[in-house]
Amino acid sequence: MSSLQLQDKVILITGALGAAGQAAIQLFLAKGAAVAAIDIKDIGSFPEIHRLEETHGTDRFMHMEADCTNEDQVKDAAAQINRHFGRLNGYYHNAYYQPSTSIADTSLKEWEASLRGTLTSGFLLCKYAAPYMIASGGGAIVNTSSILSSRPRANNAAYGSSKAGLEQLTRIIALEYAPYGIRANAVVPGDFKTEQQLADLGPEHLDGMKKESLVGRSGHPDEINEVAAFLLSDLSSYVTGAIYPVNGGLWV
């Protein structure tokens, strides 16, 4: 597989300051893409993001603070990215909100926040980014789901339901936008951790994953992002409407 499989593509990444998002920025840049990074967090608190801009220049990298549940901010962000780069070829949607409470203890506010942060954000991103992708000749969309979309777990009703909805939204996007040259797929991660997160969790987590995962460990963010990069690239030109599990065999 070419290390430059995203050469000359402009890719938007949401949830860009999370563990998976930051890893995706660096991976996609290494694969030749120009990257636009969006997150609701204050990017000023992440000096490494500014270093990326210094390293790659504004012609390869831009970042902005935006709330993906806010229609006006999503609309403005898509327009800014298109103005900055002159095109948009795809996006990798990682934004979400996950309350970890039982149904009885989940407030309506938390339920709606999870739906907005995880599912509504995916709808808004497609609504306002896809027209620029169409104007650029088509492209690819990758939404990040979760194994909890189909594997029930207590205290995750809002998040699991939102991710299940995101998978269905992905299929409908694939259906509606196929005539315009846009493909849409979802990746479905299982457990994944950075090296630092694994060190913080200690041996108990490692022992648990040895029992649950067929490969005997947690995944690394880049193992998910490599699949996303493939789905965003022309190498996956015959793949759309697919829900890709990247979970080390947890489903099995």
Which active-site residues does the annotation give?
159
Which residue is listed with tokens 């065999």? 249
Q: Tell how strand 34-39 and strand 10-14 pair up.
A: parallel
Q: What backbone torsions phi and psi does residue 110 show, to the nearest 5 degrees? A: -70, -40
Question: In the structure encoding, which two tokens stand for residue 144, read together?
Answer: 């990040």
Whether the CB-CB separation of 170 and 186 falls below 8 Å is answered with yes
* Of 53, 5, 8, 1, nearest in space to 27 by CA: 5
